[in-house]
Structures are given as C-alpha cells and as structure tokens.
Amino acid sequence: MIGKKFRLDQLERRGNKFLYKGHLWTPNMPIKSTRKNKKMMVMATKMVRGIRYGKIIHFGECGYGHNYSKQAKVNFLKRTAYIRDKYGRLTKNDRWSANYWSRKVLWPKDKPCNGPKITRRAA
C-alpha cells in the first residue's frame, strides 16, 4: 500500500530524522507497520527533477511467512521480478513500490533462509 508523495524539504527535520504525521522517520529505514495486516513500513525517498520526495509504503502481508526455505525464496524472487505497475514499468527496482521493499527486506538474496513459516496476525 502506497501513500501520497510529499516533499522532504517541507518537513520538520530533527537530526537525520523527519517529522511526518506525528512520527519521526529515518528515510529508507523499514520499521514495524502500524497497519494491522502489514508487517513493515518505510518512508521511501526518491529524487524527482532535483527535489527529494518521500512516500510511506506498507509491505508484507501478516499471516504469511517470509524467507523460510531456499526453494520458496527462489520462487518468490523469480515471480516478483516481473511485477509491473499500472504504467507497465517493472517494480523490482522502484523504491516507491512495496515489491522493491519486500524483496530487499523480507526476501534478501544474500541472506540465509531462516524466516518464519507463518507470522502472527496483528491484534
């Protein structure tokens, strides 16, 4: 799930963090999601025409495991490599897509397969 984009230069800055909607965010650093059916969220940033923009992205469905076996990882990475957005562009390298963050954080290529088979549903 992806929110609206916003300009980072218009947000209040505290050290290396930004204050957005009452929460301090470190850009491009995933944290536990506040949504009941998502695992993680991130303030993803991207330069657009010389201006740094951000978006809040929630990713990872609760109730499903991640990175729990070598074959599951191979299948997931192969399957998600061809997911496209509504404009027909691949999302695996787009920082503003949940697919990018899921592949990077929950199913990293260079990490061993030791994730949970099933995750608990949020209360």
Cβ 39 vs Cβ 67: under 8 Å: no
Backbone angles phi, psi at 65, to 5 degrees: -75, 170
CA distance 45 to 68: 29
CA distance 123 to 121: 6
Predicted TM-score (pTM) of the model is 0.86
Q: Average pLDDT for consecutive 10-residue bins of the chain (123 residues)?
A: 81 93 93 92 93 94 82 90 95 94 90 73 50
| pLDDT value of position 69 | 83
Relative to beta strand 6-7, strand 51-61 is antiparallel
Q: Which of 36, 34, 13, 37 is nearest to 25 (CA)?
A: 13
DSSP conformation class of 84: B
Specify the residue for token string 């301090």. 24
| pLDDT value of position 82 | 95
| pLDDT value of position 1 | 52
Which residue type does 17 have?
K
